[in-house]
Every structure is written in structure tokens, then in C-alpha cells.
A and B are shown apart, each in its own frame.
Chain A
Amino acid sequence: MPRGKIELENYVESLSILDAEGNVDSSLEPKLEPQELRKILRAMLLARRYDERMLKLQRQGRIGTYGPALGQEAASLGPAYVLSKNDWLVPSFREPAAMLYRGWPMERLILWWGGNEIGARTPDGVRDTPICVPVASQCLYGAGIAWGCKLRHDGTVAVCFVGDGGTSEGDFHEAMNVAGAFNLPLVCIIQNNQWAISLPRKKQSAATTLAQKAISYGFNGMQVDGNDILAMITAAGEAVDRARRGGGPTIIEAVTYRLGVHTTADDPKKYRTEEEVEQWKCRDPLSRFYKYLKKRGVLDDKARDVMEEEIGAEITAAVENAEKYEPDILEPFHHCFETMPNYLEAQLGEFRAYLDAASGGEGGASGQDNPALYRQVH
């Protein structure tokens, strides 16, 4: 065989619709009614204000470590916006905008970060999987869910999220490979926020784009301006439609930026410059979209102020509800297996005896011995 260049069937495209000043490329502009546009803005704003409040709650010691998604609202909302109720959303941990939009009560997310499993319990009627901590591992059950969609022939699809760092994990590779090999209705959104804690995107992979990884798995990729909600909606919408029609998977690389800390346990000053952050602030997905809406006459400052007020009240109510939650200290024993085996019954007995003693119950000491535990039991 002579030497030659192999032409590959698959390709990567790029897409951007709205520039940083809110100017739109009208040839690409999706047709969205004003009420839809307002809904989208509200969802992004809600996620932004939620993050900001969570950071405050963390500082006040009212939740645990928090990982905000500041600046990534468009990248996660766009794909959620194009899904229907029966589709599946498989988040990582930087998709509050998507999860809130899909119907997760905010208090549940607050409870997750506040250290309660109930925050990982997908609400009834919502099909999403909960926040996933082990990087990229969600891509595999996302592929499994997509497989289930395919076996049921019901036209449903799954969208999974992963970070730029996550693309280096074996699970990402295995999931994309399987998605391609079995032509699964899976859309994978890579939230390329330029950083994986302290590792910059350039050191994560020598690939020019992360979207191009799709080619090696036998499908198409798209590198999208992830701070452009119109581009995200367009790209995800097309990919989801294709998957629904049996056209197989797509990788969408959403080029975005983590404006905040990795988590509240992290100090980004150790590895990145203020200038870099400032540059990206100019490309903020929210202000850009808001400018566009103002230009289109969909919304004005007054209407936005009203929206802000509603959102503030909604968040306050969610925090109040979350803080009313009382975890059942014995519950972990009841959810290990469907039926509690003998050995856990015995350990539960041991634990109860300990709690009784610690809380000044039968033959036990008074709460003064262990005030923290006393509070938990009572």
C-alpha cells in the first residue's frame, strides 16, 4: 500500500454565536421566544446567586467545603435546557445551573454540600443522577443509562458532564469508546474550565482541542464557546436530536472558565494570575447574555431587578428549609441493603446502645460527657 493521508469520516466543528459584547451572529441565532429567553436568564442568574450564597454559607460554617461553578452557568444550563423531562442528565459536580433547571429543589443541593445523603437523592419525577465526586466515573454510568435508553427504543437520551481534567481519566475513555462502539444516545459535555485544580488545560493533554477526542471514538465533536448560552443551546440541541434519532453520541467541549476557587479549600493564587481571571471576567456568560437581551428589548434593568429580588427570596427560603432538615442518625444502617442482614442488625444494636449511653439514656452518662453527640441524638 502506498503512503498517503487517511481521510477520517468524523470531524470537529467550532461554534460561537454571541460575542462578549452581546452582539449576535444573526445567521446562527436560535429562534427563542422572549419568555424563553427570560427563563434562560433567570436560570443562569439563579445558579450564580446560589453559588455566591453557598460561598457565604461555607464561610459561616453552615455547609462544608463548597465547589462553586461561577462562570460556568451557560455551559451547564444549555444542555439541560434542550432535554425533555424523560431524558437523563448525568452531572459531575459543577452543574448546579443544570440541576436546578431540571427540577432539583435547591435545598437538596444545599443539603448535599451540608453533608447529608438526602442531597444525593434524586427527587421523584426527576431522572437525573446526583452530584458525582469521583472524576469522570459518571461518564460510565451515563453510558449505561444511554444504553438503557437505546434498549427501550423510547427516544430518550442521556447527557453526561465531565471536566477538562476528567478527560484524562480511563473512565472517560472507556465511556466514550463504548458510546461510539454501540452507537449510544449519549451526549458528553466537557466543561473545559481551563483548570483541574492547579493543572492547566495545556498540561492535561497535548490535544489541540478536547472535542477532537470524539474522532478517535468514531463520532463528531464540537468545540463551543461555553460562555455563550445561545451556542451551547444550539450545539446541545443538535447533538441531542441526533442521538434521539439513532445518530449516536457527540462530544461537546464547552470552552469556559472557572472564575472562582476550585473549592473553598483551594487558593488559586498559588497557580494562576489575577490577569488571567480578569480577562475571562470580560467574557462572563451572564453579562453577555444580558446585554443581548437588552439589545433585543426582552428585558430591562427594572425587570432584572425584580428577577434578582425573587431569586434572593427563593434562595433564602431554600437555605431556611435546608437548615430545618434533621438527619436520622440511624438511617445509614437502613440503606446499605434492601433488607438489613443480621450482622448489621447486631451493629445497629451496638450503635443504639452507644447512643443511649452517650445521651444519658438507660444507665448512661449525661449529655455533658459528649455534648456534640448529645445534640445529634436529641
Chain B
Amino acid sequence: MAQLTMAKALNLAMREAMAEDPTVLILGQDVGQDEGVFRITEGLLKEFGPDRVVDFPVAESAIAGVSVGLCMAGFKPIAEMQFSGFGYHAFHQIENHASRFRNRTRGRFTCPMVVRMPYGAGIRAIEHHSESREAIWAHLPGLKVVIPSGPRNARALLRASIFDPDPVMFYEPKACYRAFKEEVPEQPETMEIGKAQVVRAGSDVTIISYGASMRPVLEAADELMEEYQIDAELIDLLSLVPLDTEAITASVKKTGRCVVVHEAPRNCGPAAEIIARIVENALMYLEAPVQRVTGYDLVMPFFNLERAYLPDSTKVITAVKEVVNF
């Protein structure tokens, strides 16, 4: 077991996959010589050479579209978008081709590719570098959307995504890249995509979140217990598509109360879908309306203001208290 940051854990997952499977390759801007602007691809060019770790021209649509073509030619590309804020250039290729080739060719051509991108605020980056727009991808049929929250699940989920037979949008919470370390097992580890984790069992309220927002949620849960004797159950979704309706429903049936937390804007955001599933499956168990702690329906402010605009433990605690005291 080694103590790794998420950055190192992601790197490990790619190294393992590439060593095992010669069809796995990486395409992205500055991923080779420079080892990625966040150093996620550190050492990979040296180990696997320029045919498999490709420094790509600044062209996101091409990174995605060329990956689709590589899939047809029998490869498993890992496409890196330098920042999710620039992934929109690739939207057209992902929506019109990656997500639908399996269906439209009735399985003759498939797209076993991963599109990795760092998302979210919290690192005082310049404009366009701090958005959380995962809901956009979650809306597209034919894509999976995976979002890890820590080093260990990042490594296991990236492995699962690389070997998944369908395209996976892999959103990396960049605020977590180096924020903390975790024990990561020596042997390659994988996780089933679409399974949420109950990271802490509790009885009074369910808090559902994913990605970078799991940190403030964990903090809030500690404080809720210590200060208010509120015993919160925490669910880390890990994937928005498929969304683990069973885990959500089981927990809400048990606690009868729920708060959903994410950084993304509220309107049509992931929480809206999560709450709809609760309403469909556990309405009669609810003791209080479900609350959302989310980004506001605004353009993300420049970094001087970003802290206040993110979900934090104070916002989560306020929402939980309201739900519990309803």
C-alpha cells in the first residue's frame, strides 16, 4: 500500500492500463514532454513512447474525433481535455459520434474511449478554468459520466473507465488533485461504474454528493455530529450516469431526509435528477422537502470571489438543519 495523491493515483491507473494493453493510448495537449499541465501523465511518455502518449495540437474537436476513429481502428484512447472549460469544442464529436456509433451501427463500431478532464473551482485559476458542467454530458444518451472524489476511487474508476466498452466522460475534481493522500493498494484495483458508495452510515439524514464537494460534505458531517448530534449518512455517487438509484433510494427510505450537494449550477443540475428519483421511489418516506446546496445559476465568478460561491460545510450544515428541523 502506498500513500498517493489523486494526481499520482490517476497516473498509476493509466500506467497500469497501458502496460497491460498495448491498444491503450493517450492523446492530449502537453501530455507528453510536459507530462500534462497538472502532471497527471508524468513519466508516461518516457515509459510508453510517442506513439502511445501523443502531444496533440491545440484542437479539442480533433482530440475527440480522432479518438473516435482510433476506436474504430481497434484502439482504446484516453483523450485528455486540458480543462473542462475547453471540452465544449469537443462536444460535437462526442455527442454526434462517440455517444452514438454503437447504436447507429448496431454494434459494428463502438467507442471504448475515455475523455478525461479536470473540472471545478478551488485552485484560484483564471477565467474559464473553474466550471462544473457535468450535467451537460449526463444529458447525452450513450455516455457514462464518472466523477471520483479521492485517490483510491480515482484510480479504480479510471481503470474501469479505460476498459469500459463504451465512452466515459471522466471528470476529475482538480481541487482534489493534490489536496490529500490516501492509501492505494499495490495491485490494480477496479470499481463497478454506476455504483455509489455509502462513505459513512447514519440515521438522521442522507447527504448525497460527488467529486470535489465530498470534502465539505465530510467536514459538515463531522460538525453536525459533534455540535448538533445529527447523524448523517453520506453517499458518494462516483458516477452520474449510470446514477445509483438503488443506493439513493435505500438511504432516503432509511433516513427520511435528504440534502443534495454539488458545485454545478442548480437549474437542471444533477440534484434535480437525483431528487426526481427520490420522488419517484421514496416519496412516502420523506419527512421533509429535499434541499439542494449547489452553485448558483451564475457564471462562475473570477477566483477572488470563488470560495464564497462554492458549497462549503456551513451551507451544508444550514441545509441539513433545516431538513432535520422541518
Contacts and interface: CB of A to CB of B under 8 A. Distances in A.
B69 interface: yes
Contacts of A31: none
Tell me which of A88, A146, A178, A339 has the highest count of chain B C-beta atoms within 10 A of its own C-beta. A178
A335 interface: yes
Interface of A: 88, 117-118, 120-122, 124, 129-130, 134, 137, 139-149, 151-152, 158, 170-171, 174-175, 177-178, 181, 331-332, 335-339, 341-343
B103 A117 contact: yes
B72 A129 contact: yes
B103 A335 contact: yes
Contact of B106 (A142, A175, A335, A337): A335
A337 B102 contact: yes
A335 B51 contact: no
Cβ-closest 8 pairs across A and B: A144-B69, A148-B73, A140-B65, A141-B69, A174-B62, A144-B66, A338-B165, A341-B242
B59 to A, nearest CB: 4
B146 interface: no
Interface in B139-182: 141-142, 144, 165-166
On chain B, which size bracket covers the interface? 35 or more
Given A120-B105, A177-B59, A338-B102, A145 B72 contact: yes
Majority-rule SS of A interface residues:
helix
19 contacts: A120-B106, A121-B105, A134-B97, A137-B92, A139-B65, A140-B66, A140-B93, A141-B65, A141-B69, A142-B69, A144-B68, A175-B66, A177-B57, A332-B103, A335-B107, A336-B102, A341-B194, A343-B242, A343-B245
Contacts of B97: 134, 137, 141
B72 A148 contact: yes
B68 A141 contact: yes
B220 interface: no
Nearest to A149: B73
A338 B166 contact: yes
Nearest to B166: A337
A342 B108 contact: no
B198 to A, nearest CB: 18
B315 to A, nearest CB: 29
A130 B144 CA distance: 24
Contacts of B92: 134, 137, 171
B104 interface: yes
Nearest to B71: A144
A177 B66 CA distance: 12
A342 B245 contact: yes
B96 A144 contact: no
A338 B166 CA distance: 7
A88 B73 CA distance: 10
Contacts of B68: 140-141, 144
Contact of A122 (B93, B96, B105, B144): B105
B69 A145 contact: yes
B67 A148 contact: no
B59 A178 contact: yes
Contacts of B61: 140, 170-171, 174
A158 B66 CA distance: 13
Interface in B41-82: 51, 56-57, 59, 61-62, 64-75
B62 A337 contact: no
A181 B57 contact: yes
Tell me which of B65, B75, B105, B144 has the highest count of chain A C-beta atoms within 10 A of its own C-beta. B65
A174 B56 CA distance: 11
A349 to B, nearest CB: 14
Contacts of B194: 341-342
A197 to B, nearest CB: 19
B243 interface: yes
Contact of B105 (A130, A147, A342): A130
A147 B102 contact: no
A147 B56 CA distance: 13
Nearest to A338: B165
Contacts of B75: 148, 151
Nearest to A337: B166
B62 A143 contact: yes
Given A140-B69, A144-B66, A336-B141, A121 B108 contact: yes
B164 to A, nearest CB: 8
Contacts of A148: 69-70, 72-75
A41 to B, nearest CB: 31
A118 B103 CA distance: 9
Nearest to A134: B96
Nearest to B54: A182
B246 interface: yes
Given A145-B72, A174-B62, A337-B165, 7 more contacts: A129-B109, A144-B68, A171-B65, A171-B93, A335-B103, A335-B107, A341-B194
Given A141-B68, A335-B103, A147 B73 contact: yes
